[in-house]
């Protein structure tokens, strides 16, 4: 095990990062207390310091595997869209997620995230610098093009992406249908 794998496993234990649904999704989730300024979202949700929020964490190995068959951007988007209903189901049905008001993450792809219901906010300057460096480091580490991939494209600003519980449930949660026996 190299140092990055060790660090990722330590982080997962420390922050209790858990699979979404039965697992096998591009994202995983941890539950934290929000510590920033009051946030107001377009659907009326207000997140205050101390509120429970879910934090999305990318499964870097799963993301790297998307590049093996080509068209990684399309496949990544498909994986996100596959994950959101499972996340909505978890928020609707798991008692430990009952208090989560919104779900957030850090992303270089924040503009694209708005298409699937997320809103974005800038990070404070130091956080933006640190997370931007980390995201680019991971992209260089896990992308098949390695560090050469960093020279292409203009993804330089990492931002917070947020989706409220209300938006997530209204867009992606479907009540399980009861099956009737003949």
Which tokens hold the place of 141? 């580490």
Model confidence pLDDT, tens digit, residues 133-152:
777 776 666 666 655 555 55
pLDDT digits (tens, 9 = 90+) for 3-13: 767 777 877 78
**Domain housing 46:** 3-125+159-172
* Residues 51-87 pLDDT 10s: 999 999 988 778 777 766 666 667 888 889 999 999 9
Query: Is the residue at 98 inside a domain?
Result: yes
Nearest to 172 by CA among 64, 86, 74: 86
Percent of the chain with pLDDT over 90: 49
The answer to whether position 166 is within a domain reads yes
State the average pLDDT over residues 95-124: 92
Cβ atoms of 168 and 88 within 8 Å: the answer is yes
Q: Is residue 94 part of a domain?
A: yes
Q: How far is CA 55 from the centre of its chain?
A: 7
- pLDDT of 109 reads 81
Q: Apex CA 105: angle with CA 82 and CA 35, to 5°?
A: 145
Q: pTM for the whole thing?
A: 0.82
Q: 55 lies in a domain?
A: yes
Spatial distance between the Cα atoms of 149 and 141, rounded to a whole number of angstroms:
10
> Worst-scoring range by mean pLDDT, 41-45, 53-57, 83-87, 109-113?
109-113
Count the domains in the chain: 1
- Decide if 47 is inside a domain: yes
């Amino acid at each position: 095990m190299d140092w990055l794998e060790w660090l990722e496993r330590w982080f997962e234990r420390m922050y209790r990062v858990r699979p979404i649904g039965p697992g096998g999704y591009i994202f995983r989730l941890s539950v934290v207390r929000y510590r920033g300024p009051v946030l107001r979202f377009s659907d009326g949700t207000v997140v205050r310091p101390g509120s429970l929020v879910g934090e999305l964490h990318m499964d870097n190995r799963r993301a790297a595997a998307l590049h093996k068959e080509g068209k990684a951007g399309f496949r990544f988007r498909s994986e996100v869209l596959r994950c959101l209903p499972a996340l909505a189901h978890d928020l609707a049905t798991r008692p430990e997620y009952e208090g989560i008001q919104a779900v957030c993450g850090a992303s270089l792809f924040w503009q694209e995230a708005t298409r699937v219901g997320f809103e974005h906010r800038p990070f404070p300057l130091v956080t933006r610098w640190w997370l931007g460096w980390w995201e680019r480091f991971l992209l260089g580490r896990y992308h098949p093009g390695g560090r050469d991939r960093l020279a292409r494209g203009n993804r330089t600003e990492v931002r917070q992406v947020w989706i409220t519980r209300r938006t997530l449930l209204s867009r992606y949660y479907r009540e399980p249908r009861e099956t009737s026996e003949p």
